[in-house]
């Protein structure tokens, strides 16, 4: 790849390892085990893997939030812990750590101030970012009352307030509706066009396939596969010819010719069929399991809890037994093709409908307030425990 020869990596790991230990110093979870990787400028890298495979731990080490047990890691040519490094990174955490009593604008203003931006610059960026993530209508609402998708959007805006060179997004599309997913993907591609480097973790394989240049698939703390989507997914021992729809007569002719010899024609475009990223992902995980690779994460889906199976005739029972379910639903008619303009118009209508939802501040019942206090204390404890 061109970038590899020409530029030093934005992030580079050699033998990177993180072992969590218990109170007595005994190894509790081998979260990341001896991994090497390079991330080059302008790349969008996808970090994939099942739950507990070490993605977030890797991300937290890149951010200097966790200290590696072994190995070396450099980000933007420095230690991830250096203050200068942090200034150039934007981070969307797996769970939002937003202060729930601030409004959307105040949140962005606050983070802008942390980065030392002037008041004028903060105002400008806040306005533009809120517009970009579709939250302009909710700028005066407290983020504590945001829906999951709205919280994700304000988190993304927050990650970009310092116009970072490197963006690290831990599951940016989680909790977003399909429209939101599309917007976030478009946004990431836009940032890539502007020369930003992006590292994303995700469980949404199709999302990753749409935006990433390169993926790394982790399992049990190790990188099990790494490469560009073309490298990983192209089936090189087969060929595919793409043509407009062929009539039976033409098909017969083509087959005749192909049988005679494999001569090519300039009118034909020949490429290789690709398997889906999902297929490939599942293969990698299956082979890791066959090799009995250890994982501290989820191993496989378990059985349905016995007490849930009490109802002998339940649909769940039928499904889990693998019996045929009686055809109940009518066939879904093929949707008519929707034009881009129609989609856009729908999108605008949807935005108008969801905008300005009445948000009267109602006095909260005491129990609710107590629960919030508890949640906040919990958050603080989490931060303390994770060394922040
Ligand atoms: N602070 C911690 N203390 C102890 N163990 C931890 C800690 N953080 C992570 N782990 C363990 O490290 C392993 C990897 O966790 P990590 O959060 O990196 O996984 P992940 O790939 O991000 O998973 P997910 O898809 O569920 O977000 C897990 O076994 C987890 O229990
Ligand atoms: Mg994670």
Residue 369: the pLDDT is: 53
Which residue's CA lies nearest to atom 28 of ligand 1?
52
Mapped to the 3 state alphabet, what secondary structure does 84-125 carry? Answer: HHHHCEEEECCCCCCCCCCEHHHHHHHHHHHCCCCHHHHHHH
Relative to the alpha carbon of 48, which ligand is closest?
1
Q: Compute how many other C-beta atoms are within 10 angstroms of the C-beta atom of residue 44.
A: 24
Rounded percentage of the chain residues whose pLDDT exceeds 70:
71
29 CB under 6 A from ligand 1? Answer: yes
Residue 54: the pLDDT is: 94
Residue 302: the pLDDT is: 42
The set of residues, in sequence order, having a beta carbon less than 8 Å from that of 313 and lying 6+ positions away, is: none
Q: How far is the CA of 55 from the centre of ligand 2 (A)?
A: 5
19 CB under 6 A from ligand 1? Answer: no
Query: What is the Cα–Cα distance from 184 to 133, expressed in whole angstroms?
Result: 8
Cα 58–Cα 290–Cα 292 angle in degrees, nearest 5: 60
Reading the block at residue 299, the tokens are 């191993």
Domain range list for the chain: 235-273
Residues of the chain with pLDDT under 50: 1-3, 266-267, 299-339, 343, 346, 349-350, 353-365, 367-368, 385, 387-388
Candidate of 18, 25, 54, 66 to mutate for ligand 1, largest count of ligand atoms within 8 Å of Cβ: 54
53 CB under 6 A from ligand 1? Answer: yes
Phi, psi dihedral angles at 233 (to 5 degrees)? -105, -10
Residue 307: the pLDDT is: 32
Rounded to a whole number of angstroms, the distance between the first and last alpha carbons of the chain is 37
Q: What is the pLDDT of residues 160-170, one digit of tens each?
A: 998 899 999 99
Instruction: Give Cα 82 distance to the centre of its chain.
Output: 26
Q: What is the pLDDT of residues 351-366, one digit of tens each?
A: 554 443 333 333 444 5
Using the structure block, give the residue that is written with the tokens 């929707």: 338
The atom number, within ligand 1, closest to the CA of 66 reads: 1
Reading the block at residue 178, the tokens are 């399909």
Q: How far is the CA of 151 from the centre of ligand 2 (A)?
A: 17
DSSP 8-state code for residue 136:
G
Which residue's CA lies nearest to atom 13 of ligand 1?
31
205: nearest Cα among 239, 231, 233 = 233
Candidate of 24, 50, 56 to mutate for ligand 1, largest count of ligand atoms within 8 Å of Cβ: 56
Q: What is the pLDDT of residues 145-196, one digit of tens each?
A: 888 888 888 998 899 998 899 999 999 988 787 777 888 888 888 888 888 8
Residue 384: the pLDDT is: 52
């Amino acid at each position: 790849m061109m970038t590899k020869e020409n530029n030093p990596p934005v992030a580079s790991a050699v033998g990177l390892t993180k072992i969590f230990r218990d109170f007595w110093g005994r190894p509790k979870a081998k979260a990341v085990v001896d991994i090497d990787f390079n991330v080059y400028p302008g790349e969008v890298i996808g970090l994939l893997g099942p739950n507990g495979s070490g993605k977030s731990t890797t991300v937290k080490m890149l951010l200097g939030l966790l200290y590696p047990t072994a190995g070396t890691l450099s980000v933007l040519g420095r230690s991830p812990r250096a203050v200068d490094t942090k200034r150039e990174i934007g981070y969307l955490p797996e769970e939002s750590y937003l202060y729930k009593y601030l409004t959307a604008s105040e949140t962005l203003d606050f983070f802008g101030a942390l980065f030392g931006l002037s008041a004028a610059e903060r105002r400008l960026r806040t306005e533009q970012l809120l517009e970009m993530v579709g939250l302009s209508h909710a700028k005066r609402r407290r983020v504590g009352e945001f829906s999951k998708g709205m919280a994700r959007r304000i988190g993304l805006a927050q990650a970009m307030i310092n116009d970072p060179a490197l963006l690290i997004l831990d599951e940016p599309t989680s909790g977003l509706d399909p429209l939101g997913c599309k917007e976030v993907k478009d946004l990431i591609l836009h940032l890539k066009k502007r020369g930003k480097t992006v590292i994303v973790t995700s469980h949404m394989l199709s999302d990753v396939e749409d935006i990433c240049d390169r993926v790394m698939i982790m399992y049990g703390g190790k990188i099990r596969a790494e490469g560009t989507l073309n490298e990983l997914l192209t089936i090189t021992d087969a060929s595919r010819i793409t043509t407009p729809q062929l009539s039976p007569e033409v098909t017969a002719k083509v087959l005749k010719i192909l049988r005679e010899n494999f001569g090519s024609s300039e009118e034909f475009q020949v490429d290789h069929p690709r398997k889906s990223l999902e297929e490939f992902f599942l293969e990698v995980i299956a082979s890791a399991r066959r090799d009995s690779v250890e994982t501290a994460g989820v191993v496989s889906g378990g059985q349905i809890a016995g007490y849930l199976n009490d109802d002998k005739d339940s649909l769940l029972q039928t499904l889990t037994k693998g019996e045929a379910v009686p055809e109940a639903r009518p066939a879904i008619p093929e949707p008519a093709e929707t034009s881009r303009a129609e989609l856009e118009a729908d999108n605008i209508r949807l935005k108008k409908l969801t905008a300005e939802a009445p948000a009267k501040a109602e006095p909260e019942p005491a129990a609710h307030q107590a629960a919030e206090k508890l949640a906040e204390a919990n958050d603080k404890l989490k931060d303390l425990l994770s060394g922040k």
